[in-house]
Amino acid sequence: MGEPHNILKSERALEKTVNLKKLIGKRVLSKGGKIVGKIFEIRINPNNLGLEGILVKGNVIGKIMYIGKSYFSSLSHEAVILNIEVSVLIKDKQVIDSKGKKIGRVKEVLRKGTRNDLKGLFVKSLFSKKFFIPASAIGHVGKSVVLRSNYNARKKYFWQKDK
């Protein structure tokens, strides 16, 4: 294929753009390099024709995620790198209190609407019922979820009745 004729007004030159077709199947990485999944659809805004987001098939949870462009850090022919750690991927992480005691595992992630911001986590251990931990009680999310020192998780065991 020869050099195309450029018919542009104020748009970027061809070599400065990305071929969206080539992005399909490419990986999506989180801020910390976690492989979030693979792109299988790219969505554009029909009004301004700008890129709106990508549909990603999750590597870990196998669930499909629609990630908006405001969470993109960079986009290349190789991958999309996000500027966040995807909060839905906290599911199944271990939760420990500030003293290092294992509280349980994350069963459900509650977010602020559709945003990536956490509202809280539903946690469950082997003998406890599912209980809620608000985002304000979470000190750090990394390999596990570490709670703040001022928070006492109120576990309710399955033999305890609901009030």
Partner 1 sequence: MQEKNISGKKINKTITSEDILGKNVIDAEGGFIGVAEKIFIEPKHMNFIGISVDKGIIKKGLTIGKNYIDKITDHAVFLKIRVVFDIKGMLVFDKDGKKVGKVSSIDLYGNRNKIKKIYVKPSFRLFSFKEKIAISEELIENIGDNVLLNVKISSLLKK
Cα separation, 11 vs 16, whole angstroms: 10
Question: Contact between 126 and partner 1 (CB under 8 A)?
Answer: no
Using the minimum distance from each CB to partner 1, give the nearer residue, 53 or 90.
90
Is there binding between residue 16 and partner 1 (CB under 8 A)?
no
**Least Å from the CB of residue 5 to partner 1:** 29
Contacts of 21 (CB under 8 A, 6+ apart): none
Of 88, 153, 85, nearest to 125 by C-alpha is 153
Determine the 3-state secondary structure of 20 from DSSP: helix
Interface with partner 1 (CB under 8 A), residue from 2, 4, 32, 50 = 32
Select from 140, 114, 134, 139 the least CA-distant residue to 122.
Answer: 134
CA 118 – CA 8 distance, rounded (Å): 43
Query: Considering the rule CB under 8 A, would residue 35 count as an interface residue with partner 1?
Result: yes
52-111 positions binding partner 1, by CB under 8 A:
74, 76-81, 85, 94, 96-101
Judged by beta carbon, residue 33 or residue 50, the one nearer partner 1 is 33
User: Which residues in this chain contact partner 1 in the complex, by CB under 8 A?
Assistant: 26-27, 29-35, 74, 76-81, 85, 94, 96-101, 140-146
